[in-house]
Structure 1
Amino acid sequence: MNFELSDTLLELQQKTRDFIRNEIIPMEADPRFDSHGPHESLRRDLIEKARAAGLLTPHASREMGGLGLTHIEKAIVFEEAGYSWLGPTALNIHAPDEGNIHLMEEVATPAQKERWLRPQVEGHIRSCFAMTEPDPGAGADPSMLRTTATRDGKGYRINGRKWFITGADGASYAIIMARTEDGNATMFLADMDQPGIRLERNMDAMDSCFTGGHGVLVFDNLYVPEEDILGELGKGFRYAQVRLAPARLTHCMRWLGQARRANDAAVEYASRRHAFGKPLAEHEGVGFMLADNDMDIHTARLHIWHTAWLLDKGERCNFESSRAKVVCSEAEWRVVDRCVQILGGQGVTAEKEVMRIFTDMRAFRIYDGPSEVHRWSMARKIVHAAQKAREAAAAQQGGQA
């Protein structure tokens, strides 16, 4: 892997960095905000700023109006965008839309792309991804899916209840995961303004950086014509991996920007704030935390770049994206937690941006699979690979005999 960035990518990195500092961070004080995230009017204003800067939806293909970034290029740009909690919203690379855009580009029909994807890439509409369900339905284990899709003429009737559906409030369309009568999972596309979809409520959550918050959705005999099936019948879980492996990584990219922002605040404070006769940074306890932050940030970035490099080579990266998700979510969380400690009273109040980053980031260790589920999945693959290696070695020895 070559770690050298091209001149073109360095220019794009600097352009994004300047845009976030000069145009987006000043918007963080905008009052159009509540506990569920930025209001739609604020989102639209942020979108227009990115459009004017030529940075809107950079991960989308050029055919759809994006910049067609590779995964490595996304790693650079998304980290810079993530330096502000409003940056991903401005660039239209926030969750769940970023992952949905990628999935739609890979799987949707030309008609579906024109109906839903193109206006989404242009920043005019938002989407949600409806898979997670209340107990005893699908959560970290998607095989527990209980939402049903029953054949009805030339379409399907969907019934079920979903929750933790990010961006549901105000979304224009949903990608719905439901189980058909043969027991397989299928993805369906549906406009959110239909009578068969009801937003029951918005959930109170630790984070408040996603427009539309996290909703509870009820599907009551929602009719979806067969032309609105996303991809093929019965391949819902396969398409979920098409979406989730890159989406895990883009979470890591964006939150790395937030961790860097928190660390910059901590370094600045520790360098000028004096206690017991010298700057905080010269006290060993604080200095060690700053050094640990640097190591965690660098380690997270290396995992992101390596996995992005593999994705650009065409590898599936289910194992590597799980590994990166665990390493990055925990490393970046440690960085922000240390920054709160270094800032002391300012770290637990709105006097500094770090308190906001702290409350937003904690959920990252849950989103797109808890760390424990990824570790369990990785362990199974490690053991399976070792078993295959033993069988191959035994077969080779038998052949030589």
Structure 2
Amino acid sequence: MRSVIVVSTLLLVSPSAWAQRLPSPDVEEDREAEVELRFKALAQLGDHERAAGRLREAARAYRQALNVRHDSLVAGRLGMVLVEGGRPEDAPELLLDAIHRAPAATPAERAERKRFFEAHEVARAHGSWVEVMVSHAGARVTVDGIDRNDAGRSAFWTFVAGGEHEIRATLDGFEEAVVKFTAVKGKDMKVPVPLTARKVEQGPGVYVPEKDPTATLSAVVSGPGFTKQEDPFAYDDQPKDPTKPDEKKGLRGFIGGGPVVVFGVASWMPAVGATLAGGVQPNDYVSLRLEARAAWLTTGVADRPISAMTAGGIASVCGHYKWIFGCALGHLGVITVDFAVQSFKPANFSAIKPGAGARVGANVRVTQSFALHAEADVLGLSSGVQVAVGSTVVSDQPPVMIGVQFGGGWEF
């Protein structure tokens, strides 16, 4: 009789226990709804912060939304925020995903997709799409220390900023492959990464440890509240020093200009004009430049109705250190003096004045491609300028010109 009661009790209890262990369909639906609700809240927060002009907060919200689940539309909006926030080199992969996969059924969606394409073209001009071709599939590949091949494919595309980069590939049984390359802005390229099989070396018959096997645990320092994936601007908390140029390597050119003031054009009074310059910089320490400048005396020579001007070209070789630079100059130009018709017998003369000198200046980078500069130079000429009216010498200028100029320039 006792055994019958026990069996009956088990039969009554077991179904309820099983029901408690099995997940309810309603619980699974609630979880999916919670995930979707969290995703929408973060995406809407990103839209709100972007509309308010808070790009850092918008990027963080979009990144967290993508960590909940992937959405090509949100990826495209994150890419646009990165372009607007000065991080275009991190945006092309997100924007390309949005161009190919974001919905484009309505006019508004098509208009936003067009903006994705325009932002991608802006970002692409700051770097290069690189096809990495690994000789063996399954390798772990990093580009500049960042994992880029989670799927272990033998070939994949990635976007990098212009300049020097390093690819490392590792695979069991092979030597680590290290390939360095230079990315050219706006140009796609292919980079092969060959893996070489590791040579098998026979070890000793008895294992002898080389050092004390006691492990030393290193201290763990807690990091920031957000990872790099959640906060693309996490490492930009410290303001950038505008006097420090970006890390660009390789040959690059520049062009610029601005106002100039020259002293010594037949008088020590200031002559005002403009300068236009262009050149190349093979590396961070040396640049070569050619410039043309012209300046007109703002007053008459010796307070008389006699005007003067200078025009010519300057070739320079400059050495750079951080934000300051110094140059050796070569000058070839003319100084022209013109006597006013109403006061003197009409006359003018011009003299070619070759010379040489030196320049010092400072360069302040405003953006990745635009910089402001201030310069001062001294030129020694082949001869001075003497201005005479009849037998009276009104000005006897020594063979020296001093120039001060301020302007801007673009690098490419």
* TM-score where L is the length of structure 1: 0.23
- Bigger radius of gyration among the two: 2
- Specify which structure has the higher proportion of strand: 2
- Specify which structure has the higher proportion of helix: 1
